[in-house]
Amino acid sequence: MNKKLGLYIHIPFCNKVCPYCDFHKMVASDNLKEKYIKALIKESKIKNISKYDLSTLYIGGGTPSSLKMDLLEMLFSSLNEEINLEKLEEFTFECNPEDIHSDLLKLLKKYHVSRLSIGVQTLNKSFQHHIKREFEYEKLSLVVKLLNECGFKNYSFDLMYGFLNQTISDIKLDIDKLVSLNPTHISIYSLIVEDHTIFGKLKNDGHILESSDDDQAKLYLFIIDYLEKLGYYQYETSNFSKKGYESIHNLIYWDHDEYLCLGSGASSFIDDVRSVTTTHIHEYIDSLINNKLPNVDLELLDFEDLTDEFVMMALRKNEGVDIKLFEEEFGVDIFEYYPNINYLLENNIIEERGKFLFIKKEFRYVANSVIVKFISDF
């Protein structure tokens, strides 16, 4: 297998904070955003990213499209001096649909952005109101028309499910609307209420905000089958695409390849070491103003960590764990190393096909629990 190396750049700014979001983000002044972009550029030069043979670049957040045009130009032009952006296999930029306009698309095209990830979440007005997101289907249609006019053919939509009282008819209508706009890729996410979010505080006060696990499982299985009928095959737990339009960058994570990062709160994985950059934005900026790399949390993964992570990432993919590759990478027989495989096979939770072990469709919704059983000693 040819190893790929990806670069992730984190933009931790949003125009507003969504109540369900648990990512590293904030609403910030234009002044702070400018300081941050200048710090990002400084970090890229100190790390000398030009020395790496990069396959992919992914700019995520937060909401990168919340940056003003002059800051995006500043960032892109600096990256273009260090990376041959045109030769990347994939260059993804995350954006909200309301931020997309012709000048932004022209700038992205100028710097060879090849893929857009667009945070739609839902087109149901009731559920939009629930998560403080409002963007009509008609407006999204105009955005897609603009994408096509500007030469963007590879774009992904984010779709959320699991809202309180959401029915299969509701999610089907959302899917039908999105698919009518011909995206190459769709990512789905269940509404999970995390403690440190706005929704988390409301839940702790007794509010019910999402559907039950059983209802979410039914929605998830419907989504898998329905998207497949519409020509979008599931290649990872949460991701569906037309053939040939899988996210190359995200496959780097799931294939347990190496990746670099720039930005506050971003994570790298190089030479069996995971590093996570400080989430304190002012600390991040101040360090780089003084020509020092910001603080990072370092973790050297040992043999057990590496084998477990290899399996955890691989089992997220529909094709599953490559049995032969595992043995080549780690020098052990996977069936001997993970004796619970036999239990999972006998109970028809996972399946062996050819040289792969994978989670059966009806258990993908509880993939995390299956993975824990796969790698555990009990």
Say how far apart CA 7 and CA 89 lie, in whole Å: 12
Claim to verify: residue 243 and residue 313 sit in the same structural domain: no
Residue 16 belongs to domain with CATH number: 3.20.20.70
DSSP letters spanning 87-99: G-SEEEEEE-GGG
Give the pLDDT confidence of 118-137 residue by residue, as tens digits.
999 999 998 888 777 788 99
Q: Is residue 229 part of a domain?
A: yes
Out of 190, 220, 254, a domain closes at 254
Claim to verify: residue 144 and residue 206 sit in the same structural domain: yes
Higher pLDDT, 194 or 261: 261
Say how far apart CA 193 and CA 188 lie, in whole Å: 16
Question: Domain range spanning residue 363?
Answer: 303-375
Give the pLDDT confidence of 315-356 residue by residue, as tens digits.
999 999 999 999 999 999 999 999 999 999 999 999 999 999
Q: Would you say residue 192 has pLDDT above 60?
A: yes
Q: Would you say residue 25 has pLDDT above 60?
A: no
Claim to verify: residue 223 and residue 363 sit in the same structural domain: no
Q: Is residue 60 part of a domain?
A: yes
Q: Would you say residue 1 has pLDDT above 50?
A: no
What pLDDT sits at residue 193? 58
Domain count, the chain: 2
Helices 303-316 and 323-330: crossing angle in degrees, nearest 10, is 160
What pLDDT sits at residue 132? 75
Judge if pTM exceeds 0.95.
no
Higher pLDDT, 2 or 375: 375
Fill in the DSSP letter of residue 209: -
Q: Is residue 265 part of a domain?
A: no
Average pLDDT over residues 173-189: 98
Q: Is residue 267 part of a domain?
A: no
Claim to verify: residue 222 and residue 324 sit in the same structural domain: no
Q: Is residue 276 part of a domain?
A: no
Q: Is residue 340 part of a domain?
A: yes
Residue 336 belongs to domain with CATH number: 1.10.10.920
Confidence of residue 142 (pLDDT cuts 50, 70, 90): very high
Claim to verify: residue 75 and residue 185 sit in the same structural domain: yes
What pLDDT sits at residue 204? 65
Claim to verify: residue 29 and residue 119 sit in the same structural domain: yes
Q: Is residue 87 part of a domain?
A: yes
- For the chain, the helix, strand and coil percentages under 3-state DSSP, each to the nearest 5: 45, 20, 35
Q: Is residue 273 part of a domain?
A: no
Average pLDDT over residues 134-146: 94
Claim to verify: residue 238 and residue 342 sit in the same structural domain: no
